[in-house]
Amino acid sequence: MVVRNKATIADVARVAGVSTATAGRVLGGYGYTSDEMKDQVQKAARQLGYRPNALARGLITGKTRTLGVVAGDIQNPFYASVLRGISNVAEADGFGLLITNSDESRSKEVQSVELLAQKQVDGLIVTPSDTRKARHLHNLLSMEIPLVLIDRAVAGLSVDRVAADNIAAGEQAVRHLFEAGHRRIGIIAELVEDEGDGLAAFLARAASGDPMEAEALYPSWQRLLGYVRAHRIAGVAVDPRLVFRAGSYSAEAAQVGVPLLLGLSDPPTALFTTDGTMSEGAMRAITALNLSIPRDLSLVCFDDLDWMSFMQPGISTMSQPRLAMGEAAARMLLERIQGENCPPRTVLLPAELISRGSVLRRVLDPAV
């Protein structure tokens, strides 16, 4: 049972006194075999400690039962949860998971995709780092390797994807603040990439009600769009000075935004932070400034990170279903691998407002 050198089907066949074809049939679970043969072969296999070689099987069947994932950074709670979701459904179907990090860099992503393709994964789940240039992803399609996108879309790449409904989420977060009586609401957003003609132009177009091509926007831009829409609904003009663009994806970059916004001559009474990392940065600044929430500042964050529920007071936030996003993506990918042939699907999962204690109800000044 405990055997040093790995036994092959040929070894098992020899011991069982049958052909390799027959041994393969019972061990591989394909074709027909008599019960008698089955017993013999299984006994021999057990005796030799036979373990199928997935490489050989994959080489001949053209299927590896392995999924490839290109995540931004496993260490980030967003990706960690998404990965767990993917893992849950992959595992249930006996699929393995080959995981890489792109660190949101296009070149690392290209490298990852190449590695995974060489390892012959049956399909790929990617959070694309560039929503424009994605030849490596188009290549995948032309090689008929199924692909599912998470979190971001790629312009012109028509494939299955799952994301949070970011526009609606941004709108709901800010509407919540308006309903509590806030009128000057700051937003701290990543907004790394340029969308068109810069931030000012984007705000102007969005405020004018221009039905923009919002599908392929980066999530932070979509959430900003929701922020603008909530303003339109509330009949309040967007003040561009209240929009803080971190410009890089880090808590440190977000952190500097808080004092900047609060230093305005007419400072905001509330803040909306557009993702987990931005929220963390803002929180650091709030702690450093010794501000009391919600007395000095109201706050709605994004992503339900563990600390938000046990801060004092609890932090209200838009919770996106990270686990479910991963699960949905994996399920769609598995369907494609099994031959599903319908047109590309876009699954937008709603984020949920979790209302805790970080929003102050303001009595509106009747003069305003």
Using CB distances below 5 to 8 A depending on partner kind, what does residue 144 bind out of DNA, a copy of itself, none? Answer: a copy of itself
Using CB distances below 5 to 8 A depending on partner kind, what does residue 80 bind out of a copy of itself, DNA, none? Answer: a copy of itself
Best CA proximity match to 11, nearest among 46, 56, 35, 54: 46
- When asked if residue 139 is in the footprint of DNA (CB under 7 A), the reply is no
Least distance from C-beta 87 to DNA, angstroms? Answer: 25
- Beta-bridged to residue 353, according to DSSP, are 318
Contact region with a copy of itself (CB under 8 A), list: 20-28, 98-106, 150-158, 233-241: 98-106
Sole binder of DNA in the list 3, 59, 74, 155 (CB under 7 A): 59
Using CB distances below 5 to 8 A depending on partner kind, what does residue 92 bind out of a copy of itself, DNA, none? Answer: none
Host H or E run for residue 54 = helix 54-61
Best CA proximity match to 186, nearest among 286, 84, 55, 109: 286
Distance CA 153, CA 128 (A): 7
- When asked if residue 96 is in the footprint of DNA (CB under 7 A), the reply is no
Sole binder of a copy of itself in the list 39, 91, 179, 210 (CB under 8 A): 91
- When asked if residue 46 is in the footprint of a copy of itself (CB under 8 A), the reply is no
- When asked if residue 262 is in the footprint of a copy of itself (CB under 8 A), the reply is no
Sole binder of DNA in the list 1, 14, 22, 289 (CB under 7 A): 22
- Beta-bridged to residue 299, according to DSSP, are 271
- When asked if residue 142 is in the footprint of a copy of itself (CB under 8 A), the reply is yes
Distance CA 30, CA 8 (A): 17
Best CA proximity match to 228, nearest among 213, 215, 242: 242
Instruction: Provide long-range contacts, Cβ within 8 A and 24+ apart, for 199-204.
Output: 199/240, 199/243, 199/245, 200/240, 203/228, 203/238, 203/240, 203/243
Host H or E run for residue 132 = none
Judged by CB under 8 A, the chain residues 48 through 77 that form the site for a copy of itself are 51-56, 58-59, 64, 66, 73-75, 77
Least distance from C-beta 62 to DNA, angstroms? Answer: 7
Contact region with a copy of itself (CB under 8 A), list: 11-19, 116-124, 174-182, 230-238: 116-124
- When asked if residue 21 is in the footprint of a copy of itself (CB under 8 A), the reply is no
CB 274 within 8 A of CB 254: no
- The first and second tokens of residue 64, run together, are 């590896």
Contact region with a copy of itself (CB under 8 A), list: 36-44, 160-168, 305-313, 327-335: 305-313
Distance CA 104, CA 117 (A): 19
Contacts of residue 182, Cβ cutoff 8 Å, sequence gap at least 6: 268, 269, 270, 298, 362
Least distance from C-beta 119 to DNA, angstroms? Answer: 12
Sole binder of DNA in the list 14, 42, 47, 57 (CB under 7 A): 57
Q: Which residues bind DNA (CB under 7 A)?
A: 6, 8-10, 18-22, 24-25, 27-28, 30-34, 36-37, 50-53, 56-57, 59-61
